[in-house]
């Protein structure tokens, strides 16, 4: 879509509506309540938000599906961007262009809960950033970014790419005024995945930490630089966020993951991987810089998302 066509399409949109489109594009599927928490938390009811979403739908830029929650079957709207909306966002170059397009069928499928859980995790970081004077906004996490972990032309197979549930960026201001630019790989486990499968994915993270691309042609010089260095200033910390089961079950899953990690030589020995496990409830209630994280390796003493020994509440070494 040309710039002129984009401007013509967005001419009738408010500034708020133009803010909504990239958010719907990046997060694929997002509930009204989640949008309310992100964009209009100062209002009791999302009246203005719903009006703007209605305008987007009337213009053919967004659509919604219903989600029933709770024992009373309360209905909540889940919003997603249309192909036309995607064209407008991609022409504006505000966010990373993605080939994935969510269809009405996918929006109404079982993918709903996992997609919304990823958004909830990002919202927890964003809300705590606001409380702590840090920076983490609605577009600071991106779902399902592919990272190659195997050489060759084949794009098939689980071992060719590492795809985190999201990559989140967070800028933290410490008490002495320093700014830390943090990056996290997020894995969201709603207790629906076999622990063994999640353990295998831990191994893929460890492999990506040391993966060095090899040349496809004989005359090309082999790289001595890990692939992740082209994308990140430091290897991202991995945070596994558990939900969907009673606390005792989540604790058992944590223990099982730690056992699988310690038994895997790729993870346990010589890996740059720093990984920890927490729950969605703890993250939401206490924030990322409270001692809510159990390290995947080593002592099980709680720490924060920096995965360093905890000194005092709110301060990480």
Of the residues 109, 140, 162, the one at which a domain ends: 109
Q: What pLDDT is attached to residue 21?
A: 95
pTM: 0.89
Same-domain check for residues 40 and 74: yes
Same-domain check for residues 89 and 129: no
Q: What pLDDT is attached to residue 2?
A: 52
Q: What pLDDT is attached to residue 219?
A: 52
Of the residues 57, 75, 109, the one at which a domain ends: 109
Q: What pLDDT is attached to residue 316?
A: 37
Same-domain check for residues 104 and 157: no
State the 10-residue block means of pLDDT for the chain, 317 residues long: 53 85 96 96 94 95 86 82 94 86 87 94 98 96 93 57 96 90 97 92 94 71 81 96 96 97 89 94 98 96 85 40
Q: What pLDDT is attached to residue 156?
A: 47
Q: What pLDDT is attached to residue 272?
A: 86
Read off the tokens for 222: 């082999």
Same-domain check for residues 162 and 290: yes
Range of the domain at 129: 113-316
**72 contacts: CB under 8 Å, gap ≥ 6:** none
Of the residues 109, 143, 159, the one at which a domain ends: 109
């Amino acid at each position: 879509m040309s710039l002129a066509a984009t401007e013509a399409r967005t001419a009738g949109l408010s500034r708020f509506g133009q803010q909504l489109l990239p958010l719907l594009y990046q997060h694929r599927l997002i509930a009204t309540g989640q949008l309310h928490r992100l964009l209009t938390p100062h209002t009791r009811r999302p009246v203005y938000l719903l009006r703007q979403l209605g305008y987007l739908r009337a213009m053919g830029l967004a659509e919604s599906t219903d989600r029933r929650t709770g024992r009373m079957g309360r209905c909540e709207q889940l919003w997603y961007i249309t192909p036309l909306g995607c064209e407008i966002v991609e022409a504006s170059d505000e966010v990373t262009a993605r080939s994935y397009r969510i269809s009405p069928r996918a929006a109404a499928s079982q993918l709903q809960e996992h997609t919304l859980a990823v958004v909830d995790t990002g919202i927890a970081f964003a809300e705590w950033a606001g409380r702590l004077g840090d920076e983490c906004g609605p577009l600071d996490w991106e779902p399902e970014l592919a990272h190659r972990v195997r050489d060759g032309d084949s794009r098939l197979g689980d071992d060719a790419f590492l795809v985190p549930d999201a990559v989140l960026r967070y800028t933290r201001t410490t008490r002495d005024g320093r700014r830390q630019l943090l990056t996290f790989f997020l894995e969201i486990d709603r207790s629906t995945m076999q622990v063994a499968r999640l353990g295998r994915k831990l191994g893929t993270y460890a492999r990506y930490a040391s993966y060095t691309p090899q040349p496809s042609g004989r005359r090309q010089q082999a790289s001595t630089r890990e692939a992740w260095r082209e994308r990140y200033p430091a290897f991202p910390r991995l945070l596994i966020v558990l939900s969907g089961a009673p606390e005792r079950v989540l604790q058992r899953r944590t223990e099982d993951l730690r056992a699988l990690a310690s038994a895997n030589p790729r993870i346990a020995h010589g890996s740059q991987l720093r990984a920890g496990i927490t729950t969605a409830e703890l993250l939401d209630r206490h924030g990322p810089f409270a001692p809510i994280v159990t390290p995947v390796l080593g002592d099980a003493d709680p720490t924060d998302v920096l995965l360093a020994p905890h000194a005092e509440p709110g301060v990480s070494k």
